[in-house]
């Protein structure tokens, strides 16, 4: 039965937010008590946390589907719903979280480090929270927001300082067993080690960890054998120790060819750039010629040691069974580990950086698309999508509230700018849960009623702004025109054009003073 898993795919679903409620306060002698509907609770989030007691991803291999609790709906009398509890998933140190596309989301390396991988949905507002001076008694409430749903890949990459690499049955597990308190499985057949084994080694006051990586064979970087599955555990190791079998009975193998094959596989393996991207062939390497307790093996080790040292490598001849040459090897590994730690520095938990949105960021964008059914305008953005999901479209008042929110956010202005006209098809929301409607603008601009080519507006043709002198001249012209109109009207009256019945004119064509006063009064 599998007891070690270092790669799993998790299907995560955060909790949905609870819906708000539309309620009216009921009290004696208060027929119009007002709204008292409470808000819904927040949905639970899914949090990954580095736990010291966790060493494998086996639990998630058997149960890959995880869901947090939903928020509770609100109640009357201004009672808010309870929040859904967060789901905390413990993971080992060294777990890399990736998306299904292979993009690294976060690298969990320090104990106590946490990351919210799926955020719960917001609770919907009740009608008490939606009340305002213009809307004193809302007859609707908002649904809860949907929580995040996504798939992530967890990869465990051991946080060891030294990695023991080499062919199967080279004595790597035996070396870990004699250097530390680890007790890996040891047998006289290849691929005895099927999972990485970690051991803690003490060299004086220096303490470091050693990882026994399953045996590598030619083509391991391309997926042959078990190498590709476990080479990821070598990526974090600062020191690589080649364990070479000097007592092999295979005719086509010798220490130099074994070393060259493993070096070639390390050079071909592509390290993760998000974790530093340092090639494995550039790491500090030590060569260990093992099984020197066999006479022929020691003679062979003494023969190839000068050739390896000529390449600039540190070479140690040991016997894991006889426990000879281990002290020098242990202190050599401790020296290189100390140098690597000083160069890398102490592992720190990454700080949470808050990046507020820009002032001019509207939170959405309009895309004009041509589909087989015709031209549509798609509104893409988290805020419009959330508003649509929270709207009860069976309630006309709720639909009107949605229209007001979209207008205040500038969606209608953006649609005008994109070229939309009354009756255009507008799509808001995620592709699997989108709302499609024929747009009826609520703006009173009247630009859609203007005739002319698209993108033009006759009201904007005259861009001249009158000066103060021009304004004064225009005002003087208006006064002169009014004075001339009054003078002409007075002349017509004196000429008798405006004489009414019952009034008599003098022989000279003028009326009496009383008639003038009467006409003036009229």
Per residue in 231-252, pLDDT tens?
666 777 888 888 888 887 777 7
pTM > 0.95: yes or no: no
Q: How many CB atoms lie within 10 A of CB 457?
A: 10
Q: Name the strands in the sheet holding 197-203, side by side, starting at the edge strand that comes first in the sequence.
A: 197-203, 206-212, 162-165, 239-245, 284-290, 314-317
pLDDT tier at 261, thresholds 50, 70, 90: confident
Q: How many CB atoms lie within 10 A of CB 224?
A: 13
Please determine, for residue 1, whether its predicted confidence score (pLDDT) is greater than 50.
no
Per residue in 3-43, pLDDT tens?
557 789 999 999 999 999 999 888 887 777 789 999 999 99
In three state form, how does the secondary structure of 329-387 look? Answer: HHHHHHHHHHHHHHHHCCCCCCCCCCCCCCCCCCCCEEEEEEECCEEEEEEECHHHHHH
- 305 against 434, higher pLDDT: 305
Q: How many CB atoms lie within 10 A of CB 136?
A: 10
pLDDT of 509: 44
Rounded (5°) CA angle 346-347-353: 125
- Among 280, 291, 341, which Cα is nearest to 316's? 291
Rounded (5°) CA angle 417-423-428: 65
φ, ψ dihedrals at 448, nearest 5°:
-75, -15
Please determine, for residue 360, whether its predicted confidence score (pLDDT) is greater than 90.
no
C-alpha–C-alpha distance, residues 329 and 210, integer Å:
13
Q: At what angle do helices 295-309 and 255-268 cross, to 10 degrees?
A: 50
* Domains defined for the chain, CATH in brackets: 1-156 (2.70.210.12), 162-344 (3.40.50.300), 365-446 (3.30.300.350)
- Map tokens 């974790």 to a residue: 275
pLDDT tier at 54, thresholds 50, 70, 90: confident
C-alpha–C-alpha distance, residues 78 and 91, integer Å:
40
Contact between residue 92 and residue 165 where contact means Cβ atoms under 8 Å apart: no
pLDDT of 121: 92
Non-local CB neighbours of 485 within 8 Å, separated by 6+ positions? none
The secondary structure element, H or E, covering residue 493 is: helix 468-494
CA atoms lying within 13 Å on the CB side of residue 248: 22
Rounded (5°) CA angle 126-132-135: 85
Please determine, for residue 427, whether its predicted confidence score (pLDDT) is greater than 60.
yes
Please determine, for residue 48, whether its predicted confidence score (pLDDT) is greater than 90.
yes
pLDDT of 57: 84
Question: What size, in residues, is the chain?
Answer: 522
């Amino acid at each position: 039965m599998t007891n070690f898993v270092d790669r799993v795919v998790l299907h995560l679903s955060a909790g949905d937010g609870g819906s708000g409620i539309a309620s009216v306060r009921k009290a004696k002698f208060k027929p119009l008590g007002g709204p008292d509907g409470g808000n819904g609770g927040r949905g639970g989030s899914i949090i990954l946390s580095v736990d010291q007691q966790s060493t494998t991803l086996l639990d998630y291999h058997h149960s890959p589907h995880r869901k947090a609790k939903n928020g509770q709906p609100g109640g009357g009398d201004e009672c808010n719903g309870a929040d859904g509890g967060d789901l905390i998933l413990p993971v080992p140190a060294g777990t890399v979280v990736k998306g299904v596309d292979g993009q690294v989301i976060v690298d969990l390396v320090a104990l106590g480090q946490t990351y919210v991988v799926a955020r719960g949905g917001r609770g919907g507002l009740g009608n008490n929270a939606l009340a305002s001076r213009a809307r004193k008694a809302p007859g609707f409430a908002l649904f809860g927001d949907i929580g995040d749903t996504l798939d992530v890949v967890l990869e465990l990459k051991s946080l060891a300082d030294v990695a023991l690499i080499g062919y199967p049955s080279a004595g790597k597990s035996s070396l870990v067993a004699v250097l530390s308190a680890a007790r890996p499985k040891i047998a006289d057949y290849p691929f005895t080690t099927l999972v990485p084994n970690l051991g803690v080694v003490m060299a004086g006051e220096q303490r470091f960890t050693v990882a026994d990586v399953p045996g590598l064979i030619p083509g391991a970087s391309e997926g042959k054998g078990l190498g590709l599955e476990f080479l990821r555990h070598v990526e974090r190791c600062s020191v690589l120790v080649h364990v070479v079998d000097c007592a092999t009975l295979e005719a086509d193998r010798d220490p130099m060819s074994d070393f060259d094959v493993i070096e070639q596989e390390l050079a071909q393996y592509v390290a993760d750039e998000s974790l530093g991207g340092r090639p494995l062939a550039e790491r500090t390497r030590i060569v260990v010629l093992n099984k020197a307790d066999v006479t022929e093996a020691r003679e062979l080790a003494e023969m190839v040691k000068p050739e390896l040292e000529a390449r600039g490598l540190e070479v140690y001849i040991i016997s894991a069974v006889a426990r000879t040459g281990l002290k020098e090897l242990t202190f050599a590994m401790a020296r290189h580990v100390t140098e690597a730690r000083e160069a890398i520095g102490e592992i720190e938990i990454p700080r949470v950086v808050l990046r507020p949105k820009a002032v001019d960021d509207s939170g959405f964008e309009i895309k004009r698309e041509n589909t087989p059914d015709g031209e549509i305008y798609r509104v893409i953005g988290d805020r419009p999508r959330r508003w649509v999901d929270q709207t009860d479209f069976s309630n006309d008042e709720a639909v009107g509230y949605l229209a007001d929110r979209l207008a205040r956010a500038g969606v209608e202005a953006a649609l005008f700018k994109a070229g939309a006209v009354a009756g255009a098809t507008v799509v808001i929301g995620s592709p699997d849960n989108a709302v499609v409607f024929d747009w009826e603008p609520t703006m009173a601009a009247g630009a859609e009623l203007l005739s002319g080519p698209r993108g033009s507006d006759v009201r904007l043709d005259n861009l001249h702004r009158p000066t103060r002198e021009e304004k004064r001249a225009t005002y003087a012209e208006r006064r002169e025109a009014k004075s001339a109109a009054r003078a002409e009207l007075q002349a017509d009256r004196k000429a008798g054009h405006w004489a009414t019945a019952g009034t008599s004119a003098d022989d000279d064509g003028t009326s009496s003073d009383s008639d003038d006063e009467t006409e003036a009064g009229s």
